[in-house]
Amino acid sequence: MRQTIAICLFALLALGRNDVSGAQDSASARDLEQAVTEYDEGLRDLRAGRNAQAARKFESALKQLDNHPELRLGWGLALLRAGENEEAFQALNPLTTSNVGSLASSALVLQARIRFEEGNLRQAESLLVKAQKRDSQNDLAARLLGIAYARQAKFAWAIPLLKDAVERDPLDFDAIHLLGVSYLGTQQWEAAKPHLIKAHQMAPKDITVTCNLAAALLGMELYAEAAKHLEKICQADDPPPQAPRHLALALLQLGELEAAKRALRQAIDLDEEDKKLQSLWDELSGSDETPEPGQKETLESAQEETPKPNP
């Protein structure tokens, strides 16, 4: 979420001294000058990473200028960067109903970032929907909303937002990967493949990305290519449960019964409660011959496994 903070900081820097110094005619000249000085110092502290100091400067300036919105945005941003998430959330609250749509939208995006960090995707989604309504041109809100949808398996809603995000930034790893995941979640295997290949090229050691690429290859019935990726994952110290499960499926389709049994045994060890895996193991353990399509229930049972994405 560093991009969120960077964009909001850039917006604050772009406001300039005049936006604050002309804030309120009712304030005394002395109070205005003090507030402007504290605003300037707060910006310098933010740029230098002195976030707690910046928060104190913005809060002090706010008292002089009676809750000027740009100062409040700076205060919330400084608190957020200082790790004071709940304080930042509360500081930003008054801005979310601002008459200035872009300010309200920026505040809502920062609040959504806080909820993202807490793992509260549902509330993050709600805040981002509001941010989009307040400012339909807020591309960051649209991108984050697409990510929130994808991580909640609302794949059909995520796809158009993430497509736009990738078009705006072809090197946006999260958007690229989650766009591939969203196509995967809607069983659009061929559409998923190029995005997941690109994500894999950007992060070749990321097990989740590799697993999702393998799932797309399985969906396309490219079993040998899928098995190649899955075998590497299954050799890791802590592979995700779906990796050996999918590897067993690929190996069965390739006619490699003994290797499929080993993969299935690993899958059961990782998920002992899965009765379907145990049933498939019982069937395979009683057979020394590779199942052939249309002749064995074992292969039909394996074919029912639809590759699942891992957002």
Domain locations in the chain as residue ranges: 2-152, 183-303
Give residue 9's pLDDT band: very low, low, confident or very high (50, 70, 90): very low
CATH topology of domain 2-152: 1.25.40
Q: CA 69, 73, 75: angle at the middle one, nearest 5?
A: 115
Do domains 2-152 and 183-303 share one topology? The answer is yes
CATH number of 183-303: 1.25.40.10
Q: Mapped to the 3 state alphabet, what secondary structure does 161-172 carry? A: HHHHHHHHCCCC
Burial of 92 per CB tally in 10 Å (0-12, 13-18, 19+) = buried
Joined together, the tokens standing for residue 297 give 């229930």
pLDDT tens-digit map of 137-164: 999 999 999 999 999 999 999 999 999 9
Mean pLDDT to the nearest integer, 242-251: 90
Q: Which one has a higher pLDDT value, 281 or 81?
A: 81
